[in-house]
Chains A and B, each alone.
Chain A
Amino acid sequence: MGLVNIKIDGQAYQVESGLTILEAARKCGFNIPSLCAFNNGKCSRASCRVCLVEVKGARGLVASCVYPVAEGMEITISSQKASDARRASVELILSNHHKNCLQCEKNGHCELLEVSKMVGARDHMYEGEQTPSTIDELAPGLIRDTSKCILCGRCIERCKEAQGISILGFENRGFKTIVSPVGNRSFANSPCMQCGQCVNVCPTGALMEHSEIDKVDEAFRQGKKVIVQTAPAVRAAIAEEFGERIGTPGTGKMVAALHRLGFYRVFDTNFAADLTIMEEAHELLVRIKEGGVLPQITSCSPGWINYMEYFYPEIIPHVSTCKSPHMMMGAIIKSYFAKSHELDPKDIFVVSIMPCTAKKYERQRKEMPNDVDAVLTTRELAKLIKRSGINWTRLPEEEFDNDLLGEYSGAGVIFGVTGGVMEAALRTAYFWMTGKEYGKVNFEAVRGQEGIKEATVDVEGTKVKVAVCSGMRNAKVLLEQIKEGKSPYAFIEIMGCPGGCINGGGQPFVKPMFLPNEDDNILDTYREKRASILYSEDERQVIRQSHNNKDIQKLYKDFLGEPGSEIAEELLHTSYDAHREKFPNK
Chain B
Amino acid sequence: MAKLQAEAIKQITEIVERYKNEETPMMMILSDVQNEYGYIPLEVQELISSLTGIPVSEIYGVVTFYSFFSLTPKGKYVIGVCLGTACYVKGSQLVIDKFSDLLKIKPGETSEDGLFTLDALRCVGACAIAPAVSINGKVYPMVQVGQVESIINEYRAKEAL
Contacts and interface: CB of A to CB of B under 8 A. Distances in A.
A504 B55 CA distance: 23
Sort A-B residue pairs by CB-CB distance and give the 10 closest, nearest first: A169-B57, A166-B55, A169-B61, A182-B60, A166-B57, A170-B61, A172-B64, A171-B64, A173-B65, A182-B56
B65 A182 contact: no
A160 B56 CA distance: 12
**B interface, size bucket:** 10 to 19
B17 interface: no
Interface in B50-92: 55-58, 60-61, 64-65
A173 B68 CA distance: 13
Contacts of B57: 156, 166-169, 181-182
**A interface, size bucket:** 10 to 19
A563 to B, nearest CB: 40
Contacts of B45: 182
Nearest to A165: B55
Contact of B42 (A165, A170, A183): A183
A170 B57 CA distance: 8
A586 B1 CA distance: 11
A583 interface: yes
B43 interface: yes
A166 to B, nearest CB: 4
B46 interface: yes
Interface of B: 3, 42-43, 45-46, 55-58, 60-61, 64-65
Contacts of A160: 55
A169 B42 contact: no
Contacts of B3: 586
Contacts of B58: 166, 169
Contacts, number: 37
A156 B58 CA distance: 10
Given A169-B55, A181-B57, A183-B60, 13 more contacts: A156-B57, A166-B55, A166-B57, A168-B57, A169-B61, A170-B61, A171-B64, A173-B64, A173-B65, A182-B57, A182-B60, A586-B42, A586-B43
B42 A583 contact: yes
A160 B58 CA distance: 10
Contacts of B60: 169, 171, 182-183
Contacts of A156: 57
B111 to A, nearest CB: 23
25 contacts: A160-B55, A165-B55, A166-B55, A166-B56, A166-B57, A166-B58, A167-B57, A168-B57, A169-B55, A169-B61, A170-B61, A170-B65, A172-B64, A172-B65, A173-B64, A173-B65, A182-B42, A182-B45, A182-B57, A182-B60, A183-B60, A582-B46, A583-B42, A586-B3, A586-B43
A171 B61 contact: yes
B134 to A, nearest CB: 22
Interface string A142-181: 0000000000000010001000011111111100000001
B105 to A, nearest CB: 19
Contacts of B55: 160, 165-166, 169
A519 to B, nearest CB: 35
A173 B108 CA distance: 15
A583 B41 CA distance: 13
B70 to A, nearest CB: 13
B107 to A, nearest CB: 15
Interface in A162-218: 165-173, 181-183
A529 B57 CA distance: 35
A170 B42 CA distance: 15
Contacts of A172: 64-65
A172 B57 CA distance: 12
Contacts of A582: 46
A167 B49 CA distance: 13
A166 B43 CA distance: 17
A135 to B, nearest CB: 19
Contacts of B61: 169-171
A287 B41 CA distance: 45
A129 to B, nearest CB: 18
A382 B61 CA distance: 37
A156 B60 CA distance: 13
A184 to B, nearest CB: 10
Nearest to B63: A171
Contacts of A183: 42, 60
A156 B46 CA distance: 19
Contacts of B46: 582-583
Contacts of A583: 42, 46
A167 B55 CA distance: 8
A156 B43 CA distance: 22
Among A168, A169, A171, A173, max chain B CB count under 10 A is at A169
Interface in A99-149: none
A47 B62 CA distance: 18
Contacts of A182: 42, 45, 56-57, 60
A40 B56 CA distance: 29
Nearest to B55: A166
Contacts of A171: 60-61, 64
Contacts of A168: 57
A173 B64 CA distance: 7
B93 to A, nearest CB: 20
Among B3, B43, B55, max chain A CB count under 10 A is at B55
